[in-house]
Amino acid sequence: MGCPSDREERHRVDDIISKLTDVAQKYNTPIVAISELARDSYKSGQRLSMASFKETGNIEYAASWLGILALVEEENGEYKLKENWETLIQSDGNIDLIVFKTKRGTGRTGRIPLKLDRDKMIIRDR
């Protein structure tokens, strides 16, 4: 079991997610939340999954849609961060959107290759 501060942080995040879910339902509006990944998820070759989200648990349960922007290679149906992914994104602008969860027919899951134009802050299909 984690230390008290870990439990307190997890409880705090769960409370925020619960309040955001209430707002979304009350006003029938989408809420977009951006989360960091767990520290180990940034390592090259690391397998990415829904468990990669920081303070995971209630985030996966409550979210209607979950995705990660990263530069990955696909191996046996799993997504792993490419070696030197930060340098590669900076040099050619290629990035992938990995969609792990969609609810109620809101789209497909899987890898969507994208191209980032950092000068114009535009993302397009690759």
Q: In this predicted model, what pLDDT tens digit does every residue of 15-66 receive, in sequence order?
A: 888 898 899 899 998 888 877 788 888 888 889 988 888 765 777 777 888 8
Indicate whether 111 pLDDT > 90: yes
For the entire predicted model, the pTM comes to 0.74
Indicate whether 4 pLDDT > 70: no
Q: In this predicted model, what pLDDT tens digit does every residue of 55-102 receive, in sequence order?
A: 657 777 778 888 998 999 998 889 999 998 889 988 999 999 999 888
Containing H/E element for 74? strand 72-75
Give pLDDT, residue 86: 87
Mean pLDDT of 97-115: 86
Indicate whether 2 pLDDT > 60: no
Q: Which residue has the higher pLDDT, 113 or 30?
A: 113
Residue spans per domain, the chain = 4-125
Given the structure tokens 């792990």, which residue do they identify? 100
DSSP 39: G
Structure tokens at 70: 């990263």
